[in-house]
Amino acid sequence: MALAAAREITGLAARATALKGRFDIAISGGSTPLETYKILGRPSFTKELDWRSVHLFWGDERCVPPTHQHSNFRAALSALGPPAALPAQNLHCIPAEHGPKKGAALYEETLRGHFGNQGLPSFDLVLLGMGPDGHVASLFPRGPTLNERNKWVVGVEVPAGVEPFVDRVSLSLPVINAAKTVFFLVSGANKALAVQRALGASAENPDFPATLVKPAGELIWFLDQAAASKTQEIARPE
Ligand code: 6PG
């Protein structure tokens, strides 16, 4: 799954760079995508990817310092390398250590500086994981941030029952759905029921935020066999 995702990311990067001279990607936190980041950081891959034109953003971040063990920035960079060809100024980390409210406001400024102010920012690719409760990025079930329609970045208070128990900063749903492509990377038997529910959902349900991810562009799920083990039980609409 990790290799398949890495290959597709590389293909999208090449196409975006050829089309507009850069590749704007918002990467996911959590543990599932780390294997993909390790693969992307391999010399065999870095020669495929023109890292000079890659702009790396994060889909969400925990309100901890970037050196903290719970930092998505730290985890992703240590998995990725990062490649020498990736310019430091192309690393757009979320300054979540300033807290959810200020961190979100600062990151929105970063996005406006990069994408401009004419309408929602459209990432070439947004990578997402999914929790067993269907949360994506730091948008948790029945959370107030699910209703945000104007802000590009939201501050999220400590989610109940989802470690680590820290405040978060997250891209808002409108920004995720403005992406040209969204990849879900989900692995493990503990996600099988959530995958079945997400893929089988016939309507958007704020109790299960993954059902609210309806990008303007492509939505592609990368699953390992364990996470996909209940998909054959999904009733297909007639
Ligand atoms: C985070 C992620 C979060 C993650 C899911 C799945 O900051 O933790 O953005 O949304 O993708 O919780 O996490 P795992 O991949 O570790 O199962």
pLDDT tens per residue across span 188-201: 999 999 999 999 99
pLDDT digits (tens, 9 = 90+) for 102-117: 999 999 999 999 999 9
130, 172, 187, 195: which to mutate for ligand 1, most atoms within 8 A of CB?
130
60, 64, 145, 169: which to mutate for ligand 1, most atoms within 8 A of CB?
60
pLDDT at 15: 96
Cβ proximity of 35 and 4 under 8 Å:
no
pLDDT at 82: 87
Block means of pLDDT (10 residues each) for the chain, 238 residues, are: 97 96 98 98 86 97 98 98 93 98 98 96 98 97 96 94 94 98 98 97 96 96 97 67
pLDDT at 232: 83
d(CA 105, ligand 1 centre) in Å:
22
d(CA 20, ligand 1 centre) in Å:
30
d(CA 97, ligand 1 centre) in Å:
18
pLDDT at 71: 98
pLDDT at 236: 57
pLDDT at 216: 87
Question: Residue 80's closest CA among 47, 55, 46, 107?
Answer: 46
1, 27, 28: which to mutate for ligand 1, most atoms within 8 A of CB?
28
DSSP string, 185-200: EE-SGGGHHHHHHHHH
Work out which ligand 1 atom sits closest to the CA atom of 136: 10
Please provide the distance, in angstroms rounded to a whole number, between the alpha carbons at the two ends of the chain: 29
Work out which ligand 1 atom sits closest to the CA atom of 61: 7
Residue 183, phi then psi, degrees to nearest 5? -110, 130
